[in-house]
Structures are given as structure tokens and as C-alpha cells.
């Protein structure tokens, strides 16, 4: 064997082993990241997106659910007010209500029902009862569709 | 306590310490002090130490026997012992003078002044609610109403709601009250004010003042309120005093088409 071959073979082996180690290290470094990205993507669909302001957080009377309300951009008209319900057993979070800036607020009426309050003008209050597994958008109740037959209760108070 | 840097001095009946409260309410005062009896040498008795308290030109009298009536702490009666002055004054916000006069060198151990809680007046840059909407100036209360009712709507809609409120205030028959406070705080007329648990109540009682979306909406609501109150913004509602968001159905009996004066954005305005 020539002098060159004596150096070349171990050098080749060294480079090969370095490649194997580097690949193994890089893979183990990348793998968890891939998993995290995947999870965050999944969570993102069930979490409030964008820069939202968090206002309320209230647990249901039986302690199984938690409601959280947020407000976002007024420009996203029908999605300004968002209410999310989290199942505290499974951790699953779901948007149950999206409404405009006339939405007044919400409250638990029993273990699995929520009341949404909507400001429909001077001396006018509209309410709707939602179940925790329902999903409602105010965009579906425009131009007089906020009616009793659609599950809304509209109450007027005389001013004089 | 002015003990080390401005102690009482050997001297006859002199003004020693004056505390002036400027524009504070004075709830109560507590002063603890002692005064010594003058020493006797042969047939001569040195002058006693005495301390006088004057609150807003009124001398606090000493009722104890064998004491100078105008000196609440009288060395002849106290003989070096401490005596407490404690009084509920409940004086409203004003300028209050607390004067201490000394004769020779009595010792003041404690002065506790309880002042009335200061009422903060909310402003556009510091609109945090005091806990009582009556503390709001009318432009702040109107801005809260506009922000709660039309925060997400156009500037024109904000001015329109402001005018609907002003038209109630200026109603010749005075059906809703004489002031912005009467009108806005009338129960169940302006929903944002009705329930402290609702999100909107939290919004109007503590509007953000930063450069955020909410902060800008608050600033715009305040501008609309000022425009309405000062008359710089003309009435786009043509005298309306009611409004309804078009979503709700059925509408109340008073919402007749001939009473509708204008439609702005998603709201209809009515003059009743």
C-alpha cells in the first residue's frame, strides 16, 4: 500500500462516521421540532388567532367547561367578539360564538348552556341560549333574522 | 415630626408649627403630646410648658380643672404626662389650617391626619371608572356610551348615537331627564351600562388609551362626544332619540317607518 492509500482509507472512514453522527444528531434535533410544529398547527385551529384581547374567563357551574371571551379587530366585523369553550377534561377548545361589536357579553345559564347578550339598540336587548357543542355566528342573523324562530329572544324597554 | 430640626424653643407663647391642607377633606385628627410643669426654685416657680391647637382658627379648649383653657396640653395639669387629642372633624375638601402654639417646650409625640379619599375625575387619557358614573364629566360619560354602543362602527354612527342622546337631553318635554347623566344612566336604555358582569361594561369602564384598536375606538368615541356636546358635529339623525340595529326582529311598536329619520350603517334612527 502506498503512503497515500494509508492516509486515504482512515480519512474516508472518519468522514463517513462523521456524516453518520451528524445525520443522527441532526435528525434527533429536527424530529421533536417537526412534532411541535404539527401540534401547534392543530392547536391553532382551536385557539384564538391574531392579537386578541382576553376579557372574561368563567368555569361552568359543574366545573367541566370554561368559557373565555376575546375581542379582535373591528375590521373583521362579524368576528370581532369570540367566545371559546374549553372542555376541562379533554382540553379541547372550541369557538362557539363569533359576533360583531354590539355583542354585550355572555354567561353560563346551567352546566352546558350559555346565554349570549346582544345590544340591538336603545332599550333593546337580544339574547340567545347556546349549547357548549353549538357554534353560532352573528353573520347568519343579519337583517331581521335575529328572531324568535331562530332562537333569539328580543326584549324592548320603554323609555318614557 | 419636627423634633430634631425644628424643636420647640424656650420662649413665651409663640407660634411653632402650622400644617396647611390644600384642597383636601379633613376627616379626623389625632395628636399625642406631653407638657411638663415648671420647676420651683425657692419661692419662684418657672413657667409651665403648654401646647395649643388651633383648627381653622378655632382654639381647641382644655376642659380639665387647674389648666389654661386655651392650651389643650397644659403642663400644670399634665405634669409631664401624655394627653391625646382625637376628634372626628369630617371637614370637606378646602384649605384647612392646623396650628400649634407652644409656651416653653412641650413635646409632640404623634400627629395623625386622616384626609378624605381623593376623588379622581376620569379624563380621556385616564378614563378608568371611579366606581360611580356620576364622577364622570358629561363628555366622558357620553364617550363611554358611544364607545359601548358604536365602538366598532363608523365615526358618523358614533356621532349619530351621541346626537340621539343629546336629543333626549334637550327634549322639550323632558321625557328622559335634563342631563346627560339622567339620560344615559336611565335603566335599560343603554345596555353597556346595565350589567357589570358583561364584557362591554368592562370595556367602557376601563377603555385602553394606547395605540391599539380599542384605544383608537375610544379616542374616536371621545372626539364624537366632544363634537356633539360642543355642537361642532352636526346632527346626522335629524332629531332622532332612538336607534335600532337592523338585525333584531320583531321590532317594537314605536319603530314605525314614518318615524325613521335616517339609516347609518347597520342602525336605523327614530324620532319619537
**Mapped to the 3 state alphabet, what secondary structure does chain A carry?**
CCHHHHHHHHHHHHHHHHHHHHHHHHHHHHHHHHHHHHHHHHHHHHCCCCCCEEEEEEECCCCCEEEEEEECCCCCHHHCEEEEEEECCCCCEEEEEEECCCEEEEEEEECCEEEEEEEEECCEEEEEEEECCCCEEHHHHCCCCECHHHCEEEEECCCC
- B84 and B57 part of one domain: yes
Peptide bond into B206 cis (omega under 30): no
Contact (CB<8Å) A74/B248: no
Residues B99 and B142 in one domain: no
The span from the CA of B5 to the CA of B1, in Å, is 9
**Max CA-CA distance within chain A?**
111
Cα–Cα distances (Å) from B194 to A109, B165, B173, B188, B204, in that order, read 18, 16, 25, 6, 11
Contact B248 A80 (CB under 8 A): no
pLDDT grade, residue A137 (50/70/90)? very high
B158 & B250 share domain:
yes
- How close A138 gets to chain B, by Cα (Å)? 9
CB pairs under 8 A between A and B: 120
Q: For B208, name the nearest residue in chain A, comparing CA atoms only.
A: A53
State the residue for C-alpha cell 334612527.
Answer: B269
The predicted model gives B188-202 an average pLDDT of 95
Using the predicted structure, report yes or no on whether residue A40 has a pLDDT greater than 80.
Answer: no
More confident residue, A144 or B241: B241
Q: What mean pLDDT comes out for the span B135-147? A: 97
Of B196 and B67, the structure prediction assigns the larger pLDDT to B196
Question: Are B255 and B268 within 8 A, CB to CB?
Answer: yes
In a domain, B96, yes or no: yes
**Helix count (H) and strand count (E) of chain B?**
6, 11
Does position A43 have pLDDT exceeding 90, yes or no? no
Q: Output the nine-digit C-alpha cell for A90.
A: 379533554
Asked whether A126 and A154 are in contact (CB, 8 A), the reply is yes
Residue B120 forms part of a structural domain: no
Greatest CA span in chain B, whole angstroms?
106
Residue A88, φ and ψ in degrees, nearest 5:
-70, -15
Q: What is the DSSP string of B105-125?
A: --EEEEEEEEEPPPPP---SS
Locate the domains of chain A by residue range. Answer: 1-31, 53-156
B109 and B165 housed in the same domain: no
Range of the domain at B150: 133-270
B187 with B260, same domain? yes
Could you tell me the three cell numbers for B29? 385628627
B174 found inside a domain: yes
Residue B219: name the closest of B161, B139, B165, B164 by CA. Answer: B139
pLDDT at B41 over 50: yes
Distance CA B146, CA B45 (A): 77
Residues B165 and B91 in one domain: no
B104: in domain: yes
Question: CA B183, B188, B194: angle at the middle one, nearest 5?
Answer: 100
Q: Are residues B156 and B211 in the same domain?
A: yes
The verdict on B217 touching A (C-beta cutoff 8 Å) is: yes
Q: What percent of chain B has pLDDT over 70?
A: 95
Q: Is the pLDDT of residue A36 over 60?
A: no
Q: Is B197 on the interface with A (CB under 8 A)?
A: yes
According to the per-residue pLDDT averaged within each range, which of A19-23, B101-105, B116-120, B147-151 is highest?
Answer: B147-151
| pLDDT band per the 50, 70, 90 thresholds, residue A11 | confident
Q: How far apart are CA B104 and CA A127, in angstroms?
A: 76
Residue B225 is classified by DSSP as H
Instruction: Work out the average pLDDT over A136-155.
Output: 90
Q: Which three cell numbers stand for residue A94?
A: 372550541
Q: What whole-number distance in Å separates Cα of residue B246 and Cα of residue B268?
A: 7
Q: Give chain B positions within 8 Å (CB) of A152.
A: 248
Residue of B nearest to A117 (CA): B198
Q: What is the CATH number of the domain that holds B93?
A: 2.60.120
> Minimum mean pLDDT among A5-9, A113-117, B206-210: which range?
A5-9
Report percent pLDDT > 70 for chain A: 77
Query: Is residue B6 pLDDT above 80, yes or no?
Result: no
SS3 B87: strand
Residue A109's pLDDT is: 95
Same domain, B67 and B146: no
Total tally of structural domains belonging to chain B:
2
Contacts of B241 in chain A (CB under 8 A): 122
pLDDT tens, position by position, A51-81: 788 998 999 999 999 999 999 999 999 999 9
Q: Do residue B252 and residue B161 come from a single domain?
A: yes
| B101 and B216 housed in the same domain | no
What's the rounded mean pLDDT across residues B147-151?
97
Please give the angle made by the CA atoms of A127, B262 and B200, to the nearest 5 degrees: 35
Residue in A closest to B203 by C-alpha = A55
Q: Which of A22-31, B162-171, B189-198, B259-268 has the lowest mean pLDDT?
A: A22-31
* A28-32, A71-75, B67-71, B217-221: segment of lowest average pLDDT: A28-32
SS3 B223: helix
Q: Select from B152, B214, B217 the Cβ nearest to the Cβ of A100.
A: B152
Residue with cell 347568519: A140
Residue B40 banded pLDDT, cuts 50, 70, 90: confident
Most A CBs within 10 Å, among B248, B263, B267, to test the A interface: B248
The verdict on B245 and B184 lying in the same domain is yes
pLDDT grade, residue A22 (50/70/90)? low
Residue B128 lies in a domain: no
Task: Note whether B3 and B86 are within 8 A (CB).
Answer: no
Q: Return the pLDDT at A3.
A: 65
Nearest to A160 among B175, B198, B200 (CB): B175
Chain A residues whose C-beta sits inside 8 Å of any chain B C-beta: 53, 55-56, 69, 71-74, 77, 80-81, 100-107, 117-126, 138, 141-147, 152, 154, 156-157, 159-160
DSSP, collapsed to helix, strand or coil, labels residue B215 as helix
Q: What is the mean pLDDT of residues B194-220?
A: 94
Mean local confidence (pLDDT), A125-138 = 92
Using a CB-CB cut-off of 8 Å, the residues of chain B touching A119 are 148-149, 191-192, 200, 245
> Domain A53-156 belongs to what architecture?
6 Propeller (2.120)
Position B262 scores a pLDDT of 96
Give the residue-averaged pLDDT of A103-129. 95
- What pLDDT is attached to residue B97? 94
Band of pLDDT at residue B9, cut at 50, 70 and 90: low
pLDDT tens for each residue of B261-272: 999 998 999 999
User: What secondary structure letter does DSSP report for B186?
Assistant: S
User: What value does the mean pLDDT of chain B take?
Assistant: 91
B193 or B23: which leads in pLDDT: B193
Last residue of a domain, one of B82, B115, B148: B115
Question: Could you tell me which residue, A38 or A147, shows the higher pLDDT?
Answer: A147
Looking at the predicted structure, is the pLDDT value of residue A4 above 80?
no
Distance from the Cα of A52 to chain B's closest Cα (Å) equals: 10
pTM confidence score: 0.67
Å from B156 to nearest chain A CA? 15
* Cell numbers standing for residue B7: 424643636
**What's the whole-number mean pLDDT along residues B197-222?**
95
Residue B15 shares a structural domain with residue B73: yes
**Band (A47; pLDDT cuts 50, 70, 90):** low
- Give yes or no for residue A84 having a pLDDT over 90: yes
Amino acid at each position: 500500500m502506498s503512503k497515500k492509500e494509508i492516509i486515504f482509507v482512515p480519512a474516508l472512514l472518519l468522514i463517513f462516521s462523521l456524516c453518520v453522527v451528524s445525520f443522527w444528531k441532526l435528525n434527533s434535533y429536527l424530529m421533536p421540532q417537526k412534532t411541535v410544529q404539527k401540534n401547534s398547527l392543530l392547536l391553532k385551529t382551536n385557539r384564538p388567532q391574531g392579537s386578541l384581547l382576553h376579557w372574561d374567563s368563567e368555569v361552568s357551574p359543574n366545573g367541566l367547561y370554561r368559557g373565555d371571551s376575546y375581542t379582535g379587530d373591528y375590521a373583521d366585523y362579524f368576528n370581532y367578539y369570540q367566545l371559546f369553550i374549553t372542555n376541562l377534561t379533554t382540553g379541547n377548545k372550541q369557538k362557539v360564538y363569533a359576533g360583531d361589536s354590539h355583542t354585550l357579553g355572555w354567561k353560563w345559564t346551567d352546566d352546558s348552556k350559555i346565554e349570549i347578550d346582544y345590544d340591538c339598540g336603545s332599550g333593546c336587548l337580544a339574547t340567545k341560549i347556546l349549547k357548549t357543542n353549538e357554534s353560532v355566528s352573528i353573520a347568519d342573523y343579519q337583517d331581521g333574522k335575529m328572531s324568535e324562530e331562530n332562537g333569539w329572544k328580543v326584549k324592548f324597554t320603554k323609555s318614557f | 415630626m419636627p423634633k430634631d430640626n425644628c424643636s420647640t424653643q424656650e420662649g413665651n407663647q409663640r407660634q411653632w408649627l402650622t400644617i396647611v391642607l390644600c384642597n383636601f377633606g379633613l376627616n379626623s385628627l389625632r395628636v399625642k403630646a406631653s407638657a411638663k410643669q415648671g420647676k420651683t426654685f425657692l419661692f419662684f416657680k418657672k413657667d409651665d410648658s403648654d401646647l395649643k391647637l388651633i383648627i381653622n382658627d378655632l382654639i381647641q379648649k382644655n376642659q380639665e380643672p387647674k389648666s389654661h383653657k386655651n392650651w389643650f396640653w397644659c403642663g400644670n395639669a399634665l405634669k409631664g404626662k401624655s394627653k391625646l387629642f382625637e376628634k372626628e372633624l369630617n371637614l370637606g375638601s378646602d384649605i384647612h389650617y392646623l396650628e400649634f402654639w407652644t409656651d416653653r417646650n412641650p413635646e409632640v409625640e404623634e400627629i395623625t391626619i386622616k384626609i378624605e379619599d381623593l376623588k379622581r375625575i376620569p379624563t380621556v387619557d385616564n378614563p378608568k371608572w371611579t366606581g360611580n358614573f356620576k364622577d364622570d364629566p358629561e363628555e366622558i360619560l357620553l364617550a363611554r356610551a358611544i364607545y359601548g354602543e358604536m365602538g366598532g362602527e363608523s365615526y358618523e354612527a358614533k356621532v349619530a348615537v351621541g346626537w340621539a342622546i343629546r336629543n333626549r337631553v334637550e327634549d322639550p318635554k323632558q321625557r328622559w331627564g335634563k342631563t346627560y347623566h339622567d339620560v344615559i344612566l336611565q335603566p335599560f336604555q343603554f345596555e353597556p351600562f346595565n350589567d357589570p358582569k358583561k364584557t362591554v361594561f368592562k370595556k367602557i369602564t376601563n377603555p385602553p388609551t394606547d395605540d391599539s384598536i380599542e384605544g383608537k375606538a375610544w379616542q374616536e368615541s371621545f372626539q364624537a362626544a366632544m363634537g356633539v356636546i360642543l355642537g361642532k358635529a352636526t346632527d346626522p339623525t335629524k332629531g332622532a332619540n332612538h336607534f335600532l340595529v337592523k338585525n333584531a326582529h320583531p321590532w317594537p311598536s314605536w319603530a314605525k317607518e314614518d318615524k325613521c329619520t335616517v339609516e347609518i350603517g347597520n342602525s336605523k334612527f327614530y324620532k319619537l
